[in-house]
Amino acid sequence: MTVSVRPGLATVPARHAPTSPAWARSDRRLGIVLLIPAMLVFAVFVFYPLGRVLVLSTQGTDIFGQAAGSVGLRNYVTTFTDPTFLKTMLNTAIFCGGVVGGRIVLGLLVVVPLTVKLRGMPVFRALLTSPLVVSVSAGSVAFAAMLSPGTGLVNTVITQFGGESIPFLTSTHWALASVILVTVWGSLGFTVLLLLGAFGAIDPEVVEAAHLDGAGPLRSFWSISLPLVTPTLFFVVVTGTVEALTTFGQIQILTGGGPADSSRTLVFAIYQQAFGSGSANFGLAAALGVVLFVLVLALSLVQFGILEKRVNY
């Protein structure tokens, strides 16, 4: 079993081209023309903006949001010495850890029983991956309705059973946890799909052999199945962390980063600095964007390097 994190990392030269030189020349011209649209889009909307953000991060911003001269590294100094930055990074770390941990634990709890061969499993599989169809904003508004303090369903149930209403989205103790919960729910369908694939690829003879050797279901899960799906788990950890790092919709819709910045993560901080009410500080927002870039780049390199080379069977 091989895990290829991104398709086709190994480059293969064009091999189907006809051999005549005239053909090759016209092919080459056509190839260049065909590459233009994609290269143009990447140049304008991926590479140029990366450069522009790097430059912006060293510039001051006037009250209209216009770049106003170089300030060197001052935006970075301001960012790193700002106590709310520390809080933001801590929130981001908790958010990523919670989301990725939650995805894996809940994903396994759902997928392991699904791998038992019993009647009706296709129906259960379809049902348990169905949340995939819910977009970030639809899921978020539904959870906002369910978790709201007054007439929200969850609190209605809690108070009906004699409990005290919980301010899920409006209390500093609950906001981040609530957003994590909603994000885990939103990504569970995809996690289940991935893990189903991984468990499905396990050779049944290996498990059979373990069974004949007297291993119970728990033992064979821990010693056989789980190690065999670690490549997929690594994949979920790395890509899930990148995904969690760049999460925006749930936070904006459910808590707006609040209360008192308690659910403000890095991406939400970028949004607030650049587009928040009366802020429009593109210089500081760009510096935060560069921090995000460095983190994602590091994770991507881990993904391409370690995963591609080591986690192969």
Partner 1 sequence: MRPSTARRVRSGLVYAWLVVAVVVVCFPLYYILEGALTPTRYLNEGLPGLVPIHLGFDNFVRAAQVVPLGHQFVNSVVVTLAQTVLQVAIGIITAYALVFCRLRGTRAIFLVLLASMMIPGETTLIANYLTVSSWHLIDTLLVVFLPFVASALTIFLFRQAFLSFPAELREAAVLDGAGHVRFVRSMLLPLTRPTLVSVTLVSATAAWNGYFWPLLVTNSPENRTVQVGIAQLAASEGADVGVVLAGAAMVTLPVLLLVLVAQKFLAGGLTTGALK
Near partner 1 in 158-217, by CB under 8 A: 160, 185, 188-190, 193-194, 197-198
Residue 42 interacts with partner 1 (CB under 8 A): yes or no: yes
| Minimum gap (Å) between residue 131 Cβ and partner 1 | 6
Cα distance between residue 10 and residue 32, in whole Å: 22
- As a whole number of angstroms, the distance between CA 45 and CA 267 comes to 19
Q: How far is the CB of 213 from partner 1 (least distance, A)?
A: 18
- The whole-angstrom separation of Cα 173 and Cα 167 is 9
Print the binding letters for residues 122-151 with partner 1: x by CB under 8 A, - otherwise: --x-xxxxxxxxxxxxxxxxxxxxx-x--x
Q: Does 105 bind partner 1 (CB under 8 A)?
A: no
Contact 79, 71 (CB under 8 A): no
Q: Which is nearer to partner 1, 33 or 81 (CB)?
A: 33
- Say whether residue 230 binds partner 1 (CB under 8 A): no
Nearer to partner 1, 168 or 271 (CB): 271
Pick between residue 176 and residue 291 the one whose CB is nearest to partner 1.
291
The span of 4-12, 75-83, 87-95, 305-313 binding partner 1 (CB under 8 A) equals 4-12
Nearer to partner 1, 23 or 80 (CB): 23
Decide if residue 30 touches partner 1 (CB under 8 A).
Answer: yes
233-236 contacts at long range (C-beta below 8 A, 24 or more positions apart): 233/104, 234/306, 234/307, 234/311, 235/3, 235/5, 235/194, 235/303, 235/307, 236/100, 236/103, 236/104, 236/107, 236/191, 236/194, 236/195
Q: What's the residue count for the chain?
A: 313
- Cβ proximity to partner 1, 176 vs 292, nearer residue: 292
- State which of residues 206, 246, 260, 306 lies at the interface with partner 1 (CB under 8 A): 246
Number of residues that bind partner 1 (CB under 8 A): 109
How near is the Cβ of 94 to partner 1 at its closest, in Å?
19
Question: What is the rounded CA–CA span in Å between residue 289 and residue 53?
Answer: 7
Tokens of 216: 């119970």
- Chain centroid to CA 189: how far? 13
Does position 272 bind partner 1 by CB under 8 A?
no
First to last CA, the chain: 5
Residues of span 67-86 touching partner 1 by CB under 8 A: none
State yes or no: residue 4 binds partner 1 (CB under 8 A).
yes
Examine residue 306 and tell whether it contacts partner 1 (CB under 8 A).
Answer: no
For residues 92 and 245, the answer to whether their CB atoms sit within 8 Å is yes
* CB-nearer residue toward partner 1: 221 or 304: 304
Q: Does residue 108 belong to the site contacting partner 1 (CB under 8 A)?
A: no
Strands 59-61 and 67-70: antiparallel
Single residue of 206, 209, 297, 306 touching partner 1 by CB under 8 A: 297
- Output 176 or 253, the one with its CB closest to partner 1: 253
Q: E strand or H helix at 60, and its extent?
A: strand 59-61
**Shortest approach of partner 1 to residue 61 CB, angstroms?**
11
- Asked if 278 touches partner 1 (CB under 8 A), the answer is no
In whole angstroms, how close is the CB of 294 to partner 1 at the nearest point?
A: 9
Q: Is the dihedral of CA 275, 277, 280, 282 positive or negative?
A: negative
Alpha helices, DSSP H, located in the chain: 21-42, 48-56, 74-81, 83-114, 121-129, 136-147, 153-160, 175-200, 204-212, 217-220, 226-245, 249-254, 266-275, 282-302, 308-310
